[in-house]
Amino acid sequence: MSVGDVSKRILLGRKLRSSQLGETLLPKRIALPVFASDALSSVAYAPDEVFIMLAVAGASTYVWSWKIGLAVAVVMLTVIASYRQTVHAYPSGGGDYEVATVNLGRNAGVTVASALLVDYVLTVAVSISSASQYAAGAIPPLIGHEATVGVIAVALLTAMNLRGVRESGAFFAVPTYLFMVAILGMCAYGLLRLVAGDLPDAESANLVIEPQPGWEEPLTQIGLMFLLARAFSSGCAALTGVEAISNGVPAFRKPKSRNAATTLLMLGLIAITMMMSVIVLAKQMMIRYVDPHELDRLRTSSGGAVPEGYDQHPVISQIAAGVFDHFPPGFYFVVTVTGIILVLAANTAFNGFPVLGSILAHDGLAPRSLGSRGDRLAYSNGIVFLAALSMLLIWVFDAETTKLIQLYIVGVFVSFNLSQLGMIRHWTRHLRTERDPAVRRRMMRSRAINTFGLGMTAVVLVIVLITKFLAGAWITILAMGFFFLVMQAIGRHYARVELELAADEQDKVMPTRVHAIVLASKLHKPTLRALAFARATRPNVLEAIYVSVDAKATSRLLEEWDERHLDIPLKVLHSPYREVVRPIVEYTQEIRRASPRGVVAVYIPEYVVGRWWEQLLHNQTALRLKGRLLFTPGVMVISVPYQLRSSQAAEERRRDDVRVHAGDLRRGRVASRGDRQDER
């Protein structure tokens, strides 16, 4: 086993057989943290964004915070109810993409796929960037190096996911459940203190928020509506990640659709409870929260500026500090698991993106390599591709969450809308042929749910586009357009290649003649083996070719050729400019032109070596020649390998490594004696 193989086993674990795919499927208790960590983690920043938007006009508008939270909750419940219909109707894992493609056409499907791909990349970038900011706040030496921390975190997540869905799910389950316990426990205790009347104010309660320029005057009705729309669109960040379950249905245990629908419902109830509790507690504790880049708008109760170096803690951090004012371990527990969950939230994208990529690859809209499973039965190429794009985005935006979050949401709501419209058409089409009254009633109920969902998500999409377009949403739209054009181009390429490769009757026609050429650099064993192999194929013409760049070497070769009495003619191609590849290519082209219906077979002797550095010392001319000849019509390139001793030693080491080691039977790497007898 090579050093690369050993490193791969250490990082990823032992290979899994294709028959073990069922062992990687997830029960609901693991599927919930795997697919819901993104939506649940939005509790760590969605309420913050709501308060930041409302603070534009001062703290007096915080009275609307719980109403905005309620509106977001209604939209989330509607979307979840709609996706519960989707996972039952389309359990193959295509999710929004499959729904749109089947019911609205290929272009709609590609649009949804573009939106989802962008949103998955942004999910990783936003979550990891936010976690990097938390880490820099806790560890001062990391300040200014947030992008580097984010890239390293993405690399670690990539390694975990390459080990397989089940193993990464088990790893992420504990922190996700701890986050649920931390937030729900904090909120429950805080609400109990609220009822008891001893809930303390937040650390920022004594501050005053100055409105932004232009918002100082009393708000008009239009101004208030616009402000609430901005806050609502920012709060809708809580809906990101909901669609991941519909894309990940194949990863669930049977019954897949029912388990996925149940997980969706649990996700919705938990996320809404957490979000509403945080917003209510933040309002009751009189938290004052502004954009981190606008801390100069905060004033003390006496009207003075906040102290220099004032650190504005996130909403959850301020709530935890107040609720657990007499129990510091509770505060540190909440803050720690919140930071961890922001990193793990990216895991939702690492499970959704590769599955979607494999479906797109199967449909010819993405490179076929995205549809291949790796050693651990995960879609390794999709995981690596997502990681590379996310790292690039984090590095370009320097891990600034405030900038990245403006790009968020647009893609997911585009897919929401097209998915709901596709489901409406799905139910309408089936209602035309269904005659069972009970089934028709269920279909009509499902169509009504999807219709209401389309109305809600369409309104949200319009609000998001209006309020976030200039703030950065235009970048998301451009990225979606780029992915759309790339996938369309890939689809056209695969369609063109398939049409070009389609077999017809002319493919059965035998070539009129075969002109075989054996390349000879010296008269040694590799050349003699290639000559013997070429002779065994019985071509119409067989000759050896030598490119002369040195007169003495050419004379010596001709003498050796005559001494051995070889009955195969040796043709010398003179190369005054010492080129080797060009004369051979031109000669084969001349033969091809002389016999258009014939075939030129070029036999190239190659050394097989056992060490990677030896490959750099041999076969370079052969590689260049093959690269040129492969583009020449009617020319067949045949490699004739000759194994050097180093390759034989490498093969012996590989065979020796196959011996049975302690623990192999327990780990399933070898069959037991009884199993081998059964096979006989």
**8 A C-beta contact, residue 228 and residue 71:** no
Query: What is the Cα gyration radius of the chain?
Result: 33
- Among the ranges given (18-22, 551-555, 586-590), the one the predictor scored with the smallest mean pLDDT: 18-22
Distance CA 654, CA 652 (A): 5
Helices 315-323/46-54 angle, 10° precision:
100
- Among the ranges given (76-85, 521-530, 660-669), the one the predictor scored with the smallest mean pLDDT: 660-669
Q: Are residues 146 and 74 part of one domain? A: yes
Distance CA 239, CA 94 (A): 19
Question: How does residue 93 score in pLDDT terms, banded at 50, 70 and 90?
Answer: low
Q: What is the mean pLDDT of residues 145-150?
A: 85
Q: Are residues 436 and 519 part of one domain? A: no
Q: Are residues 128 and 51 part of one domain? A: yes
Q: Are residues 447 and 541 part of one domain? A: no
Domain assignment present for residue 3? The answer is no
DSSP 611: S
CA-based torsion, 57, 59, 64, 69: positive or negative: positive
pLDDT at 488: 92
- Among the ranges given (29-33, 81-85, 93-97, 249-253), the one the predictor scored with the smallest mean pLDDT: 93-97
**8 A C-beta contact, residue 372 and residue 268:** no
- The distance of Cα 61 from the centroid of its chain, to the nearest Å, equals 39
Question: Is the predicted pLDDT of residue 656 greater than 70, yes or no?
Answer: no
- Among the ranges given (146-155, 160-169, 486-495), the one the predictor scored with the smallest mean pLDDT: 160-169
pLDDT at 507: 63
Helices 581-594/620-629 angle, 10° precision:
30
More confident residue, 216 or 679: 216
Domain assignment present for residue 475? The answer is yes
DSSP 141: G
Q: Are residues 548 and 454 part of one domain? A: no
> 202: helix, coil or strand?
coil
Distance CA 320, CA 190 (A): 9
Query: For tokens 């070539």, what's the residue?
Result: 511
Q: Are residues 535 and 457 part of one domain? A: no
Q: What is the mean pLDDT of residues 341-346?
A: 78
Domain assignment present for residue 670? The answer is no
Query: For tokens 């290929």, what's the residue?
Result: 106
Q: Are residues 485 and 553 part of one domain? A: no
Question: How does residue 649 score in pLDDT terms, banded at 50, 70 and 90?
Answer: low
The CATH number linked to 542 is: 3.40.50.620
Q: Are strands 208-209 and 298-299 parallel, antiparallel or unpaired?
A: antiparallel
Q: Which two tokens stand for residue 226?
A: 């616009």
Q: Are residues 618 and 471 part of one domain? A: no
Backbone angles phi, psi at 257, to 5 degrees: -60, -45
Q: Are residues 280 and 195 part of one domain? A: yes
Q: Among the ranges 13-22, 238-247, 461-470, 534-543, which has the highest mean pLDDT value?
A: 534-543
Distance CA 619, CA 136 (A): 51
Backbone angles phi, psi at 168, to 5 degrees: -70, -35
Those residues whose C-beta lies under 8 Å from the C-beta of residue 539, and which sit 6 or more positions away, are 514, 515, 516, 601
Nearest to 238 by CA among 99, 1, 48, 21: 48
- Residue 432's identity, in one-letter code, is R
Domain assignment present for residue 152? The answer is yes
Backbone angles phi, psi at 543, to 5 degrees: -150, 155
Domain assignment present for residue 668? The answer is no
Q: Which two tokens stand for residue 614?
A: 């030896």
Strand partners, 607: 642
Q: Are residues 171 and 91 part of one domain? A: yes
Q: How far is CA 258 from CA 88, 254, 359, 411, in A?
A: 7, 8, 22, 27
Domain assignment present for residue 680? The answer is no
Strand partners, 80: none
- The distance of Cα 481 from the centroid of its chain, to the nearest Å, equals 18
Nearest to 22 by CA among 251, 197, 201: 251
Question: Is the predicted pLDDT of residue 525 greater than 80, yes or no?
Answer: yes
Q: Are strands 298-299 and 599-608 parallel, antiparallel or unpaired?
A: unpaired
Q: Which two tokens stand for residue 621?
A: 């001319």
- Residue 409's identity, in one-letter code, is I
Degrees (nearest 5) of the Cα angle 386, 263, 278?
A: 85
More confident residue, 36 or 573: 573
Q: Which two tokens stand for residue 164?
A: 């397989």
Total domain count for the chain?
A: 2
Question: Is the predicted pLDDT of residue 481 greater than 70, yes or no?
Answer: yes
Q: Are residues 330 and 441 part of one domain? A: yes
Residue 562: exposure state from Cβ atoms within 10 A (0-12, 13-18, ≥19)? exposed
Under the phi-then-psi rule, with left for phi > 0, alpha for psi from -120 to 50, and beta for the rest, what region is 663? left
Distance CA 366, CA 363 (A): 8
Question: Is the predicted pLDDT of residue 244 greater than 90, yes or no?
Answer: no
Domain assignment present for residue 528? The answer is yes
Q: What is the mean pLDDT of residues 371-386?
A: 72
Residue 415: exposure state from Cβ atoms within 10 A (0-12, 13-18, ≥19)? buried
Question: How does residue 1 score in pLDDT terms, banded at 50, 70 and 90?
Answer: very low
Backbone angles phi, psi at 209, to 5 degrees: -100, 120
Range of the domain at 430: 28-304+313-491
pLDDT at 225: 86
Domain assignment present for residue 496? The answer is no
Predicted TM-score (pTM) of the model is 0.69
Q: Are residues 643 and 602 part of one domain? A: yes
Q: How far is CA 631 from CA 84, 395, 624, 627, in A?
A: 52, 39, 12, 7
The CATH number linked to 38 is: 1.20.1740.10
Question: How does residue 320 score in pLDDT terms, banded at 50, 70 and 90?
Answer: very high
Distance CA 168, CA 354 (A): 14
Q: Are strands 599-608 and 514-519 parallel, antiparallel or unpaired?
A: parallel
Q: Mean pLDDT over all residues of the chain?
A: 81
Q: What is the mean pLDDT of residues 156-166?
A: 72
pLDDT at 379: 74
